[in-house]
Amino acid sequence: MYGIEGQKSRHRQMVSKKYNLLYQRIAGTNQSIETKLRILRSYRLRLLHEYCQVVLKEAYQDAVTIQSLLACRELRWKSQLFPRDSNPFIVGQGALPEHLPRALLDNLITPEAASANDAPDLA
């Protein structure tokens, strides 16, 4: 199975380091408490958005590969359910010839012509 915890923890450390640096810078200023809290809250939201973008970008690159592997596994499993057929697609005139293209209808052998071609020539 695929685990994203390693990627998340690696980026989480970088985000917390950035936040602590800003917190130390803000704590040394002589602004009001409300202003400091607003700056920290906005920066925390910006860091969260950045963190989500980075983690999702990495996960998306892996997701395409994982989805392809899962689709192949499912097709392999379904192919084992059905017996192999030597000729799975038979082209010919079916019950509804109006659904076939006109060019194909002109080139099809009718059942009467096919039986006439199979008969031996006595002449």
The predicted pLDDT at position 56 comes to: 85
Confidence (pTM): 0.48
The predicted pLDDT at position 103 comes to: 67
Q: What is the pLDDT of residues 36-68, one digit of tens each?
A: 999 999 999 999 898 888 888 888 888 888 889
Q: What is the pLDDT of residues 93-116, one digit of tens each?
A: 566 656 666 666 666 656 555 555
The most confident of 4-8, 38-42, 59-63, 83-87, by mean pLDDT: 38-42
Among 41, 54, 45, smallest CA distance to 8 is for: 54
Judged against a pLDDT cut of 70, whether residue 6 lies above it is answered with yes
The predicted pLDDT at position 100 comes to: 64
